Structure formats: C-alpha cells, structure tokens
Amino acid sequence: MPMTHRERLETVFHGGQPDRTPILGGWIANPRAICAFSGASLDAYWADPQSVSLRAYQTLGTDGLLDLFIPKHQDDFRCVDHEDYMHGAAQMPLEQALAEIESLPSGAETEASFDLEGEYRLFREQLLAMQERCALDPDEPMVWMPAQWAAEGRVTWYREYGYEGTFEILGAHPQHARKLVEIGGARGYNNCRLVARAVREGIYPHAMLFGEDICSQRGPVVSPRFLERYYAPQLARNVSLLLEAGCRPVWHSDGDVRPLVDMLLACGIQGFQGFQPECGMTLEYITAKRTREGRPLLIFGPLAVTTELPVLSADEIYARARAAIAYCRGRASLVMFTGNTINPDIPLDNIRAMYRAVEVP
C-alpha cells in the first residue's frame, strides 16, 4: 500500500527507505506556471494566490511544502523588491547604525523578554491553520513544513543596514558585530524553542530547513575565523534544541559553502539544500560527508536552477533526477527539491519531469 505524504517524508527524515523518493514544493516563483498546473486563470490566482498555489502543488504530487512563493507585485515574479536587502537601509549613515546597535537589547535580554507561551500560541495556530489548508485531499494532505529562516542565529543584517553597512560593521567594528551575532543567536534560540515544542507535539515534522546566505560563488562573504569563533557557538546552541526534539536541521546553502561545511556539521547540521554545482557543491561532494554522529546526510535537492533546470531538456532533467535517486541510495537520505526558486526561465515540461522522476521507486 502506498505511503501517505507524511509517512514518506518522515521515513526519509528518520533515515529509512520510503516507497518512493518524496518531493518538496512551494518555491515556484512564477504565477503563470502555478496557473498552468492548477488550471486556474491569472485573475483567479491574484484573487487567492494561496489556494491556487496549493491546488497546483497537489496536482503535481507534492509531499511537503516549505513555503508558498507569491510575488509582491502582479507585474513581477519576485518575492523581494527594492525595499529588501541592500536597498533596505542603504542610506543609513554608519554612525546612526552603530548607535542603533548600541541601543538594542543584548542577547541575554532578548531571551529573557521572550514570551514563550504567547509566541507559541501564535506559532501553533499558524501552523495548524496552514496545515488545514494543505488538506485539499483530507485522506492525504500535503505536509506544511515552513522554513524557519530566523532559527539558526544571524550574522548578516542586510535588511537593517544594507550590504555595505553590514560589511563595514563586520570588518571595522568588532564589538558591534559581536553584539549583532549574539542578538541574532538569541532570536534564533527563541525560534528554535517554538519549533522544538511543535515537533514534540507532532504538528511540525522531524526536519526543518533554515540557513543564511553567507557565501557567494567564490566562498564565504564573512571571515570563516569570525564565524567559527562567534557564530558557530550560537548556531550549535540553537541546533541542540532541535536535535533534542528529534528534528533534523537542513542548511540552505547558496554559492560555494564548502569552506564552512565542516563547521556546520560540527554544530550539528544534519543535511544541506541549495546546490550550485558550478560552485563545487555537487551531490558527489556532499554525500561523502557525514553528520557529527556519523549518519548519512539528509539532502533536499539536488536539481540546480542555474545550470540544469533552465537549460536542459525535459528528458535530461528526468535522467538527472533518476540518477540522483540512484546515487543517494545507501549514501544519503534524499528528498527531491531544487537549489533555489523556480523562476519563469524554467520550462514547465522540466518541472513536470522532476515530479515524474519520483513517481517510481
């Protein structure tokens, strides 16, 4: 008898062999593709993008959802715009940024002021509400397992201080940089407390995607020595909460993350997502690694949205996905997914081919 979506995912999260390779969704950043898979019109999509998106992912055969990427504007496909990242606070003078950091509560104060019960009620309500929406088929609901981008801690503060401001603080103002890392760690710790409790209550699965964009195609954008000394202890502390609850944290890794892989594994990271093979982050490289407990890694991937999905044929995508399934057998626990968002440059037939590849064991 075929497994349910949840059974299939949980089997892989626990290192077992499912009836077939599960597949994740939620990152199609292309309303026209969502409409094509759901059978809805663009007008219907913009009237209720969540419902139309859920119908598309159900039609495709998705096991679990990490998010629902909905563009900010109807004339674009991106879920970020000019108000995000480097433009967010690009005009803030450095002196103002430093003064603002000095006025922020410390990491210890951030943890002490956290309303665990109140925040958990809200977190739980949101999880249950979205899980209910994912039950388009009551007998086999898709699993809502949203990524928790704030759970790892934080070393990059692009939204608050822009790229230039963040790197100037990290490079020239070590005391302020360390305070930001401590605050980010405390916020992540609070977030992990929520997730760990939800895992124990059975309303969040036993794996979670998180991470931080701290690598370019040339490697880390922040000194590995700084990360190992100040960031890694915060990350390890937060990860310990997840591991104690039986939840396996999977790290999102854009760019060439190889110089940080051993540090991340030492902190307790259980797997990786976000493969850019052109940067050396290949399936062959990462599956040779093991967790600090000696277990095979949990992989969300490995189809690249740069060198594979936009440029290869549907037959080639199908073959790449089948090859990944075969290669990971005995080497890693695989959940089929993409390296990043599926943008309009990726043909619909290639998306279908990826899903078709997991229909057989």
Query: What pLDDT was estimated at residue 89?
Result: 55
pLDDT of residue 335: 98
**Rounded distance between C-alpha atoms, residue 236 and residue 259, angstroms:** 17
Which has the closest alpha carbon to 89: 20, 152, 168, 199? Answer: 168
pLDDT of res. 254: 86
pTM across the whole model: 0.95
Domain residue spans of the chain: 5-356
Give the domain 5-356 fold.
TIM Barrel (3.20.20)
CB atoms within 10 A of CB 46: 15
The closest of 67, 62, 57 to 22, measured between CA atoms, is 62
* Residue 83, pLDDT score: 57
The radius of gyration of the chain from alpha carbons, rounded to an integer in Å, stands at 20
Of residues 267, 307, 275, 271, the one with CA closest to residue 289? 271
User: Alpha-carbon distance 169 to 344, whole Å?
Assistant: 36
Q: Return the pLDDT at 86.
A: 47
* Three-state helix/strand/coil letters over 217-264: CCEECCCHHHHHHHHHHHHHHHHHHHHHCCCEEEEECCCCCHHHHHHH
pLDDT of residue 209: 98
Q: What is the pLDDT along the chain (361 residues), one digit of tens a residue?
A: 899 999 999 999 999 999 999 999 999 999 999 999 999 999 999 999 999 999 999 999 999 999 999 987 777 666 655 555 545 556 788 999 999 999 999 999 999 999 999 999 999 999 999 999 999 999 999 999 999 998 988 898 988 888 889 999 999 999 999 999 999 999 999 999 999 999 999 999 999 999 988 999 999 999 999 999 999 999 999 999 999 999 999 999 889 999 999 999 999 999 999 889 999 999 999 999 999 999 999 999 999 999 999 999 999 999 999 999 999 999 999 999 999 999 999 999 999 999 999 998 8
Residue from 38, 41, 43, 79 nearest 57 by CA: 38
CA distances from 361 to 11, 20, 270, 322 (A): 14, 4, 24, 10
Left (φ > 0), alpha (ψ -120 to 50) or beta: where does 85 sit?
left
